[in-house]
Structures are given as structure tokens and as C-alpha cells.
Amino acid sequence: SGSVYIWYATCLEVVGLMLMIGIVWALIRRYLQRVPRLENRFDDLIVIILLFVVVLSGFVVEGVRLAVQRPEWGTWSFAGFWISLLFTQPQSAQSIYPYLWWVHALMSLGLIAYIPFCKLFHILAAPASIYLENQALQAIPVETRSPDDEVFSYRDMIFFDACTRCGRCVEVCPATGAGEPFSPRDFIVWARNNRLMMYHPLNHLGWFKNWITKRYTKEQGFEPEKIWHCTTCRACLDVCPVYVATLDSIRQARSKLVEEGTQMPALLTQSLKNLYKYNNPWEATKKKRTQWSGTLEIPDISQSEKIEGLCYFVGCTTSMDIRAQELARSFALILKHARAPFFTLGKKEPCCGDIARRVGEDGLFEKQMEDCVELFQHYEIHDIVTSSPHCFHTFRNEYPAFQALKPPDKQVEFRVRHYTQILRELVASGSLKFERPLNVKVTYHDPCYLGRHNHIFNAPREVIGAIPGVQIVEMVHTRANSLCCGGGGDRIWQEDLDADVKMSEIRIREAEDTGAEILITACPLCLIMLEDARKTTGLEDSLQVMDLNELVAMALGLKSDK
């Protein structure tokens, strides 16, 4: 009674009709338009039909009730009122009302009971997933783990339940886009099905366990070794509406495979052995750590126990790959030109452990981390700049979680920046002044671990924009939507995997389409991958691939002797 109920009834009508329109639209998109990213499984159809029947039966029950009672306010329940006009005889409407009511009640209760067993469970899991994604992942040292520990945590299982298989991750996954047999959605479904086969509440019933095992085994289509296709670019997490942390789960699955010593790519296994033996994945001696400098006089801690200034952490790839070495030389020249005091760790520089962390070799990662932390502590290093976004990410986001587990007197605090941030600071302070124009058109490739992982998009563009005569044009996929070069997730240490086309070649073609003369990047791995793609696509004469340091050095008229 009263106006409150009338408005309440009207709101229910509006919401119910909106839901029906949404259901009809879902059917059109799935079964008429056939949106490519959507999977059409039988479970999906059941959910849609159940929702439709519940809403429709609710309107019918209301219409029959209005046909019997004929209240004055009946027109406010407009959908039910229209249905009530179909029943001209109140007696017949009253006779079928109990049956319709029971059908509606049973269908509604059946839908509620079905929620834990279908994708609608995301109604409960999604809020938890969104909350957990913003919580820092606790570090678990290897020494505290047990061989009986589960591969996936309760946190992972909540993420699995939150996934609705919407396919947004499939659209942006570089491995899927290159035609490789991997997608984040397939991994999540595989992981969830495996958990259900192990922990389903009805597993104590033998026949049910056999049935669900056969069902999920038949649906799999995903093998554990496919996780090595993931480049850990983070594109899937950025587009996921419920923030399913696929990368964390993939890393844990990799860790289990490493622990078992099975299903690992041969070259990746060799790289880990090299890291353990030589302290770098390149199988290089300590002497080669400093060969990148050529004839440049670079101060390092082997020359003096106490050197003031910025610690330049060169990194394994930048130190030892011939193409990436030019990055380091250019940056050193720029720092010298700006009269910014700096030093390197020289032959004492260890690997930051990024490769071990991405692979899931956590014991080796912790060893590398301890080596770095002890070195920083011994030489009282508190301000670090890195060449590689991967080193930057590891120092900035991986180390603190493990450091927090140590006693306060054992913790080492340090500031870490990527070289693009240093360049921006030098330009802003006036230490770097560009006087001669280059008159060149360039495009910039956002490295995944600099952009998506650490949200550094503007710094490199501001540096490029400060160089007179340089016109910057953006590719189709840029900033947070940038395409991965294919070298992340330790893919650079693996043999070529099955694919229709290389990820780096897709990216280099995008750069070509902009009409740019130079493709700029800010990562040694991207530099190597894109340089290789430039050669394999036959673009050696029309497109250059350069690191941002090389462009800045060229604008300053700086040249280095190798």
C-alpha cells in the first residue's frame, strides 16, 4: 500500500525488462553475431535460458495475479498489466496461478542452487578478486615451502572462480595474436578444472568423481607446457574486468614444473644453468661484464671502495649482447656530457635474478637477490639506475616483498629508477640541451615492463619531444595497449615456439605503417627482438631500430668507440 510500493513495483518492472533485453542481446551476440572472443559452451546456454525463464515466469505470475485481483494501481506494474490483459476470465487465471507460482519458485531456487557450479559464481568471486588484486602478494621463501604444498593458493582459486571466460584477454594476448597455441583464458579454465577435479564437494561420490573427471579431461585442450608461451606482458590483467591475476598463477605453475624438472624448454634450462654457474644467462665470464665500455673510462667499485653518485646497474643483456652494448655506451656518454656523477659495479655486478623469477626458479632468484642486496649493503648503495625495465621491475616490485621478511637491521633500502626517468630529469634541469635539429620522424615502442607493469609512458616521450626536429608518430597499439615484442617472460632465452608469425614481426610492421624512419625503444630485450625482426622482414633499408639513449646521444653529437 502507499506510493512507496507503487514506485517499488514500477522499478522492478523496469529492471526486469532491462534484464530481458540484456539476455536477448546476449543471445544475439553469441549465436547470431558470433563475437570471435566468446566461447559458446553448453553451460553458457543453460545460464542464459535459466535467467530468461526466471524473469519471464516472474512477469507471467505477476500478470496472472493482476488478472485475478484487478487492483487500481495495476497499471504501475506495466509489464505484468500488459500480460494480465491476455486473461479475460479471472476464474481460469486463478486456477493456473498456483502451478505458475511453483514453476517460477522452483526455477528461481534452481538458478540460485546452480550458481556455485556455473560462471554465475563470479557474482560472489569477482568482488573478492578485485579486492585481492590490489593487495600485495606475500613473498614465500623457498625454505619455508613443502613439497606437498599446492601449486595454486586460495587467492588463485578465487581468481579462477571470478573468470567468466569473456575473452577480453584472448583479444590482447600477443601469443594468441601470433597464432601460438596459448591463451590466458585457456590456462585459467584448465587450472580451475583441475582444482574442481580434486576438490569438488561431491567428489566423495565415486560415480560423480568419474563423471566430472571425464568431462573436464575432455574439455581441457590445454597442456601444462604451453605456459612457456606466456610473455608476462600483463596485457591480460589490464583488460580483465575483474582483475584476474593470471601472471601470478602462471608463474606458480612454472615454479612447479621447474621443481619437478619436467616440460621445460631446453634452451631455457641451459640459461638457468648458466645463471647458476656464471651469474648470468649468457655463459659469460666476469671479465666480459666490463667489455661493453670499450675505450670509455667508466668508474666502478673495483677502482675504489667509496664512489659518490648514481649507481648504474648495467644488467646482463646490456653488458654482453653486442647490439645492446651500444645502449650502455650511449647512456654513459650522456651522463658524462651532463656531468652527472655515476659509477658501475664492474666485474662485481651480479644478475638481478629477473630470469629466475619469471621462470619460477625461486631458489635461484633468492640467491641472486641476496648477492645484490649484500653488494648494495656493503658499498652503501642507495640510488640505482637500470638499463633494463626487467631489472628495474625486479628491484622495485620483487625485492621489497622479500626484504620485508628480514629483521630491520638486515633490510636494505634503495631507490631505483629506469634510465628514461634520469634522462627526463636531466632534460628538465637543463643539464641536457639539444641545439641541433635531427629532422627525423620516429615512433616509440612501449616496453611491457616499463609501461604496463610500471606505468612509465610519458618520460621517454618527453625526452623525444625535447629534441628539436624530431616528429613522433604513434603506432596503432601504444602506451597501455602496446604490443609485446615477444622477448618477455624469458621468451628471449627459448627456441622459436610454434606460431603463425613472430610477435616482433607484427610489431615491426606496425612501426612501418606509421611511416617512421626510426623505431625507438627503451629496453635491451625489445632492442634485440625488434632489430632481429627488422632483418627478417626485409626492412633494413627503410627502418632503423634504436634505443632512446642512442637517439639522445645522436642529438647531442656524442659518439663512442667500441
- Residues 48-98: pLDDT tens digits? 999 999 999 988 888 888 887 777 776 777 777 787 777 777 777 788 888
Amino acid at 448: C
3-state secondary structure 62-93: HHHHHHHHCCHHHHHCHHHHHHHCCCCCHHHH
Tally of CA atoms within 13 A in the half-sphere of 9 that contains its CB: 20
In the chain, the amino acid numbered 515 is G
191-217 pLDDT, tens digit per residue, is 888 777 777 667 667 776 676 666 666
In tens, the pLDDT along 215-224 reads: 666 555 567 7
The CATH number for 238's domain is: 1.10.1060
Running DSSP on this structure, what letter comes out for residue 295?
Answer: T
Same domain flag for 350 and 478: no
Domain check: are 419 and 294 in the same one?
Answer: yes
Is 92 among the domain residues?
Answer: yes
Residue 279 and residue 330 in one domain: yes
- DSSP helix/strand/coil, 444: strand
pLDDT, tens digit (0-9, with 9 covering 90-100), for 459-470:
999 999 999 999
How many domains would you assign to the chain? 4
Lowest mean pLDDT among 39-48, 367-376, 418-427: 39-48
> In 3D, which of 157, 179, 160 has the Cα closest to residue 229?
179
The domain spanning residue 445 has which CATH number? 3.40.50.10700
Confidence of residue 348 (pLDDT cuts 50, 70, 90): very high
> How would residue 1 be classed by pLDDT, with cut points 50, 70 and 90?
low
142 shares its domain with 245: yes
Question: Where is pLDDT greater, at 313 or 294?
Answer: 313
> In this structure, is residue 455 part of a structural domain?
yes
Q: Is residue 55 part of a domain?
A: yes
Cβ 171 vs Cβ 39: under 8 Å? no
266, part of any domain:
no
Domain boundary among 369, 389, 423: 423
Rounded to a whole number of angstroms, the CA Rg of the chain reads 30
Q: Taking residues 514-523, report their average pLDDT.
A: 96
- What average pLDDT does range 384-394 have in this prediction? 97
282 and 342 together in one domain: yes
Q: Do 72 and 133 reside in the same domain of the chain?
A: no
Most confident of 135-139, 211-215, 455-459, 492-496: 455-459
Domain that holds residue 494: 433-556
- Nearest one of 500, 490, 487 to 529, comparing CA atoms: 487
Q: For 414-439, how does the pLDDT look when each residue is reduced to its tens digit (9 = 90+)?
A: 999 999 999 999 999 999 999 889 99
